[in-house]
Structure 1
Amino acid sequence: MNVIAVDDEELALRDLTRSLEKVWPGCELHGFSSSKRALDHAEGHPVDVALIDIRMPGMDGLELAKRLKDAQPGAHIIFVTSYEEYAIDAFAVHATGYLLKPVDLNDLKRELTFVYEQSRRTSPGSTSPSRVRVQTFNGFDIFVDGKPLAFKRSKTKELLALLIDRRGARVTTREACAVLWEDAPYSPSQSSYFRSLVTDLRSTLASVDAGEIVVKQRDSLAIDPSLIDCDVYHFLEGDPIAINSYKGTYLPSYSWAEFSLSRIEPSRK
């Protein structure tokens, strides 16, 4: 996301940009103390979100917002001001949000999360939401058309969790068995039981017309990440909604998931 912050008061601009860096560390951020410089930038660079003070000398924030919208109709405008009385004027120029100074981090996070979600839904390259949603933070569950999917065997559900964790990488029978039964040596009986889990997984998914999310080849399985809406995938892509939802717990029921935490929390490496 390309973000600009505009405020003629240097201290206020510095505070706002610092808050933005905390709440949305992955954004491309530019700060301007002049409406003219902000507009010059917007005429040559993409702007997804503009956080604008209203009372500024010369071109005020309301005029800047109108001209930004002319230059980039898809830009989201969030006014950041000390004055409540401008709210009606602000929304007359189709502002997305209105924050009062001093800006509260939670309020800023809420506004940016809303903007991000709106942009993701309406961007030209966006696709319709997946029928299959997977939750890996604070527990593991899979939902199809909004309904939780039930499994006959807990190991079948764990196998699916393992495939989700691998993010499309293929897992062989021997590799999967080594993870699912970490204390037991590989054996023909274990291999046979694993094949029954695969059959159970595929039939469970097929029962809700979601069988295509698992790709099976001779001696390996993989998930198709493009067909699921998964919180950890969005997290790793820098999605602020997913980042804000992560509370330090990933696939907590499975001990093997501890080894994947280094991807989520680099400090654990």
Structure 2
Amino acid sequence: MKAIIVDDERLALKKMENLLREQVDLDGRIELIGTYNNAHAALEAARREEVDLAFLDIEMPEINGFELAEQLLKIHPCLSIIFVTAYQEYAVKAFEMNALDYLMKPVHHSRLTVTLQRFMASKEKTARSTEEAKKAMLCCMQRLHYQDTQGRTQSFPWKTLKAPELFAYLVFHRDKTVSKQILIDLLWPDYDTERATTQLHTAIYQIRKIIKTAGLELSIKYMDEGYRLVWGEEKLDVDEWENGVRQAPPVMPETLDQHLAIMALYTGNYLEEHRYIWADYEQERMRLIWLQHVKQIAECFKTLGRHTEAIMLYQKIRETCPDLEDGYFELMKMYAAMNHQGEVRKQFQLISNRLKEEFDVSPSKELIDWYEQWKPGMKE
């Protein structure tokens, strides 16, 4: 890990250099590659070679520490910045720039040790995240497929229709033993025992072969008169998304970007393209979690006055959950507030027709009452 120090005061620069060299000698994982008493020289050095860590004084002529940090980050986006100053009032702005730390002069040896430990921990965490990102991921959103270690989407070359359903069922019940009889009753209910058993063995053989060819760290074990899919190091897209939703902080303006990133992980309903009847409950469960999450994000957009983004999300809710009133109703309210009367009528007609055609019912009393109360205020 390569470090630089920038300070226009030569004595302060020399003291910081000595302190860091003492730490470098003890640690050995950080190399001090240069000290600079002006920002231009530091930028020249950064253009010539890699820099991982920069100690920057804040009050410097021509280019101050904050401006220098911005320019250095354009050259090395992963650079860690540590501001060093005699003035406490810069602390808030320093951390707004996502600085790793903020050191007050005179810097003490023990305080610098804490900073460098924080820096190394941050780099190790990044390295672990990068390593985890290289693992393959099995995907059940929209359809059964996988992403290889390079992040490329890959399809499974199935030769029969029952093998992928068997694989998907074992994935759903991963790390649990499913009896042979349950599998036979599910997939080959009209076959006699001997023929169904043969079909089961053939499908298991095909799945094992495909798992091996794809390089997935999964295995199928036969035990207790049943089969168990033993999970390896792979990620599962539905787990990644659901864990993200459940572990995230509440949706607020400050956390909006984090929630948008989580929302982007939901790339389709659970095994929707395959139409497996046994997957209906899980599909609906996941879709309702998604619905509540997206509604919270849309409400946050409304609070911020970002009505276009909110409308787009409600439209997405309507498309993803076409049999639920949520998307239509929220669009009606938003269009009413914007005095788009034609759109309000359109959404009411869409949900009314949908419910009539699919279930032979009318919209809820709440929606109808709201619509009837809104109608007297309409301008023809």
Q: TM-score, length-normalised on structure 1?
A: 0.49
- Specify which structure has the bigger relative contact order, considering alpha-carbon pairs within 8 angstroms and separated by 6 or more residues: 1
Higher Rg: 2
Return the structure number with greater helix share.
2
- Greater fraction strand: 1
- How does the TM-score come out when normalised to structure 2? 0.36
